[in-house]
Structure 1
Amino acid sequence: MNPDIRVIGLGCQRDCPASVLQGLIEVSLLEHCLSLSDITALASIDSKASEAGLLELAERLGLPLAFFSAEELTAFEPRLSHHSQIAFDSTGCYGVAESAALAMAARLGGSSARLVIERRNSSRATFALAASP
């Protein structure tokens, strides 16, 4: 397994601009002495697969972007730091950012994926970082 697999999970409101997402990412990474060059991939829920801000962000950063179904994300519920009823009511899972980050890190590096940065949020988006040792 690659010790350098780090995946950002993102959730966002409809029509959230790429600049808002990137700002949340950069602040969160900076606080943990990481940079965008440390990131392997981005991930979110499949209901965001046509979200322009997410697609633009992935292209801008040159990172692969994967989407997971709510059913796939629910497998990671026991490992979430925060369970959001609002997220569940709108997506069918209790935490998009953390679940998506864990799902993609597990896909790329194995089942021992863990959260490195727990859920962070802005007024329009959520962020989490998972790694696979």
Structure 2
Amino acid sequence: MNETANRPILVIGLGCQRDCPASVLMGLIEVSLLEHRLSLSDITALASIDSKSNEPGLLEVAEQLRLPLGFFSAEELSGFEAQLSHRSQIVFDVTGCYGVAESAALAMASHLSKSPVSLLIPRRTSSRATFALAGHFLENP
């Protein structure tokens, strides 16, 4: 039996300003996970909005963590608006969706689990980045 079969699906959603260093993103990730007694080894994937698909800091974080990094369009992310803990008009004006980190985490977790997911850690911010965690805890057989 595959030992990962019963692991929860936990996805980190990230948003960031242009040219945000990987160190800023990693700091936000590490602090947020530590506060919730989670470790990097618990994480299944990373996600963001497609306009960040060439963002060096995001790509570096995914490489460092050896995790898949998925990108979603604003239209895809808007489908998760009802689940957001925070809606930012500023973010909407720039990206076309009301929240990148939360929406992206929800979108990727939903894609991977093929079942309903929820926001497990609402939006956390630093001066240059946002973090959220969404997922689906699989039931034990």
2:85 maps to 1:84 = no
- CA shift, 1:90, in A, is 0.6
Q: Where does the alignment leave 5 or more consecutive residues of structure 1 unmatched?
A: none
Partner Cα distance (2:78, 2:109) in 1: 15
Structure 1 match to 2:11: 7
2:49 maps to 1:45 = yes
2:40 maps to 1:36 = yes
Instruction: Give the aligned length.
Output: 133
2:123 maps to 1:119 = yes
Structure 2 match to 1:103: 107
Query: What is the Cα-based RMSD across aligned positions, in Å?
Result: 1.0
2:74 maps to 1:70 = yes
Contact 1:110 1:132 in 2 (8 A): no
Partner Cα distance (1:125, 1:83) in 2: 16
- Seen in structure 2, the aligned counterparts of structure 1 residues 89 and 29 have a Cα distance that, compared at 3 Å, is same
Q: What secondary structure, in the 3-state scheme, does the structure 2 residue paired with 1:63 have?
A: coil
Q: What secondary structure, in the 3-state scheme, does the structure 2 residue paired with 1:83 have?
A: coil
- CA shift, 1:3, in A, is 4.7
Larger Rg: 2
Partner Cα distance (1:44, 1:102) in 2: 10
Question: How does the TM-score come out when normalised to structure 1?
Answer: 0.97
Q: Where does the alignment leave 5 or more consecutive residues of structure 2 unmatched?
A: none
Question: How does the TM-score come out when normalised to structure 2?
Answer: 0.92
Q: What secondary structure, in the 3-state scheme, does the structure 1 residue paired with 2:67 have?
A: coil
> Given residue 108 of structure 2, which amino acid in structure 1 is its aligned partner?
M
Identity of aligned residues (%): 75
> Given residue 75 of structure 2, which amino acid in structure 1 is its aligned partner?
E
Moved over 4 A (4+): none
- CA shift, 1:130, in A, is 0.3
Partner Cα distance (1:107, 1:130) in 2: 12
